[in-house]
Structure 1
Amino acid sequence: MSQKQNSLRLVEVDTSQGALMVPYEIRRSRRARYIRLSIGRHNHALLSVPWRCAFVEALEFLRSQGDWLMRNLSEHPTRTSLKDYLETHPRLYAMGKALRLSQGFTRAKPFYVYSTDNDEVELRIRAEGDVEENLIALVRTFAQEVIEKRTMELANQVGARIKRVSVRNQATRWGSCSSSGTISLNWRLVLLRANLQDHVIYHELAHVQQMNHSSKFWNLLRAYDPQTDAHNEQLNPAGAKLMPLGRL
């Protein structure tokens, strides 16, 4: 059992099918404005709360979510680490291609090398320290480069004028677009199949002209990506699988 699992507390929560003992963790954030509940990597309730939120208030919220906890703890019995995921799915996606992934260690500065001609990417993380943390950091650095490049490439193809591309660590969203023309995208897009990755980028590029989800927006998106409807249906199951990865 890991140190994290040993540090979890237990609380009894009422559900429609009786009492449930739930392991939980509370994380305080100066940026949080409200309490958010999710399932942690060790199949526990993870409460993200505002910095000054009272402990009692957080527990009261947790106890009010009994049926949600019962359903989600059973549906997601484990959380796969990024390391484990990439061992069973050894590929990353960049520039419209699937790249075969190889991994290793280095005692020098971490680095990656990729080729879209050979469809390969090599990651070398630090030999010292936490493997999961080091791997996440390097994959995010890789994502910063290739997602920005791909977004600018597709923007040029469709004639969309954007101000900046930001690659971030969003909890539930693949991307967003601001009225100023800044597109923000999730680094986990490098784990998403190339056609779906491009669809997400096209979605945000369409928002550059249509800051809504009107019929004009959907018509524009379908012009960018004729397979929009099929790709939309595939995004939800993909998100459920990939969004939990890389959370420490």
Structure 2
Amino acid sequence: MGLKLEEAAQSKHKFFTVKAGDIELRYTLARSRRKTIGIAIDKNGLIKVTSPFGVSESYINELIQKKLQWILKKLAELEAHLANGKTPKLFQDGEKFLYLGKELELKITYSNYKKAYTGIKGESIIIDAPTGFNLEAVKHLLRLWYIEQFRQIAVQRIEHYSAVIGVFPKKIAIREQKTRWGSCSTGGSISLNWKLVMAPLEIVDYVVIHELCHMKVMNHSKEFWDTVGAYFPNYKDCRGWLKRNSNVLDFE
């Protein structure tokens, strides 16, 4: 069971096999000084197990059998993403994530601290999680961190451009919107999609100015675009960038 692996990937690894009912799973095994066993699936559908020294292969096989439904679910999700032409995020150590247009490496460590930490250090996004956190918990931590970072950025950019344009929103909301990067209500509330935190700051500025200008012109008429152009002459390039790269600013 699993995706067809690339020949190069097959040649680099020693595989172990475990049976779970009628299903036979192959996995690679890496030993380290970590305290818990980790199971991950890479972008090729390769099951990768990391284990402390001294843990028997039979114990690892039992754990894989217990995790069978989770493994099958992740493999199915991976196949679905690839069928749609997308490479899904796996939220694993060493994976690359965008932050303000820059690609950073995710580095995950585990400690005995009860509270998790997420932040940027150099060229990496660091997550220090309590021992026992699974990949779904890591995904949740990263998502919350992205949202909070974007909230701070969005408030700062809105305050800056509000003073320039002369309009001041009554409320700022950070949301996860499926089809919009931002919106402005007739009551003067502005909503922004937190996934913009993955885009370059220039793109964030364009969306902020776009929504602030709707507080002057509540439509997409020539008057509206002339207003946007007066404060952000490069808006056409940024608008085109968003249309071309919307799939890149994806957290799944």
TM-score range, shorter chain: 0.5 to 0.7
> What is the CA–CA distance in structure 1 between the aligned matches of 2:206 and 2:118, rounded to whole Å?
25
- After TM superposition, give the deviation of residue 42 of structure 1 in Å: 2.7
Count of residue correspondences: 179
- 1:153-208: CA deviation from partner (whole Å, max 9, x where unpaired): 22223222111111111122111111111111011111001111111111111111
1:44 to 68, 72, 80: 80
The 1:87/1:74 distance shift into structure 2, 3 A limit, reads closer
Q: Is the 8 A contact 1:144 1:187 kept in 2?
A: yes
After TM superposition, list the pairs within 5 Å mapping 1:235-246 onto structure 2: 235-242=242-249, 244-245=250-251
Classify the secondary structure of the residue corresponding to 1:149. Answer: helix
Normalising by structure 2, we get a TM-score of: 0.59
Segments of 5+ residues of structure 1 without an aligned counterpart are 9-22, 24-40, 46-72
The 1:220/1:140 distance shift into structure 2, 3 A limit, reads same
What does residue 227 of structure 1 align with? Answer: 234
Q: Share of identical aligned residues, percent?
A: 25
What does residue 168 of structure 1 align with? Answer: 175
What does residue 208 of structure 2 align with? Answer: 201
Q: Is the 8 A contact 1:43 1:78 kept in 2?
A: no
- 1:40-66: CA deviation from partner (whole Å, max 9, x where unpaired): x53438xxxxxxxxxxxxxxxxxxxxx
1:156 aligns with 2:163: yes
The 1:134/1:221 distance shift into structure 2, 3 A limit, reads same
What does residue 85 of structure 2 align with? Answer: 76
What does residue 146 of structure 2 align with? Answer: 139
- 1:54-86: CA deviation from partner (whole Å, max 9, x where unpaired): xxxxxxxxxxxxxxxxxxx645143234x3698
After TM superposition, list the pairs within 5 Å mapping 1:91-102 onto structure 2: 92-93=99-100
> What is the CA–CA distance in structure 1 between the aligned matches of 2:128 and 2:83, rounded to whole Å?
34
What is the CA RMSD across the aligned residues, in angstroms? 3.4
1:109 aligns with 2:77: no
Normalising by structure 1, we get a TM-score of: 0.59
Classify the secondary structure of the residue corresponding to 2:215. Answer: helix
The 1:101/1:140 distance shift into structure 2, 3 A limit, reads farther
1:212 to 206, 219, 236: 219
1:185 to 187, 192, 213: 192
Classify the secondary structure of the residue corresponding to 2:78. Answer: coil
- After TM superposition, give the deviation of residue 92 of structure 1 in Å: 2.0
The 1:204/1:84 distance shift into structure 2, 3 A limit, reads farther
Classify the secondary structure of the residue corresponding to 1:184. Answer: strand
